[in-house]
């Protein structure tokens, strides 16, 4: 049978297969590697509360566009209360870029992060400072 007329394969990020408590840390670790951070970087490490804000903004300015968009997305997930401000400060929104702009590796990790972000818990954020 022709592959064009067969039904699509199920995506591993299909909601029936998602386990945010297990999957989100995996995607977060992959994202940390892509943006040059330690693999044990926690969501709280990107908090804009306190001295981390200056380091975050400097790191964002030093990156190429795909990795900057990924780190911006990570920072927005860690700081939902400051997401609009962060995006205005950077002059970009990670949703403005296409898969082609981001490249395969960054795009896959960004989609994985967004799809597995644990929004089912009270407070809807894994960052304790928010």
Judge whether 7 lies within some domain. Answer: no
**Residue 118 to residue 130: CA distance in whole angstroms:** 15
Q: Structural domain tally of the chain? A: 1
**Residue 36 to residue 59: CA distance in whole angstroms:** 10
Cα angle: 86, vertex 97, 7; to 5 degrees: 130
Per-residue pLDDT tens over the stretch 74-122: 999 989 999 999 999 888 887 888 888 999 999 999 999 988 888 754 4
Q: Residue 110: give the domain boundaries.
A: 51-118
- Stronger pLDDT, 1 or 25, i.e. the higher one: 25
pLDDT category, 7, cuts 50, 70, 90?
Answer: very low
pLDDT category, 10, cuts 50, 70, 90?
Answer: very low
Residue partners of 38: CB distance under 8 A and separation at least 6: 32
Alpha helices in the chain (DSSP H): 20-34, 52-62, 65-78, 83-90, 99-102, 104-116
Judge whether 8 lies within some domain. Answer: no
Judge whether 5 lies within some domain. Answer: no
Say if CB 52 and CB 97 are below 8 A apart: no
Give 111: exposed, middle or buried? Use CB within 10 Å, 0-12, 13-18, 19+: middle
Per-residue pLDDT tens over the stretch 26-49: 899 999 999 999 888 888 788 888
Q: What is the pTM of this model?
A: 0.76
Judge whether 99 lies within some domain. Answer: yes
**Residue 126 to residue 27: CA distance in whole angstroms:** 14
State yes or no: pLDDT of 126 exceeds 90. no
Judge whether 74 lies within some domain. Answer: yes
């Amino acid at each position: 049978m022709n592959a064009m007329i067969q039904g699509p394969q199920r995506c591993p990020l299909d909601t029936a297969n998602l386990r945010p408590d297990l999957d989100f840390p995996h995607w977060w670790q992959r994202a940390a590697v892509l943006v040059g951070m330690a693999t044990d970087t926690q969501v709280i490490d990107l908090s804009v509360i306190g001295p981390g804000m200056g380091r975050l903004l400097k790191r964002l300015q030093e990156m190429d566009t795909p990795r900057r968009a990924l780190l911006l997305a990570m920072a927005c997930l860690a700081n939902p209360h400051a997401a609009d401000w962060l995006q205005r400060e950077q002059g970009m929104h990670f949703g403005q870029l296409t898969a082609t702009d981001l490249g395969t590796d960054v795009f896959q990790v960004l989609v994985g992060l967004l799809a597995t972000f644990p929004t089912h818990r009270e407070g809807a954020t894994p960052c304790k400072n928010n």
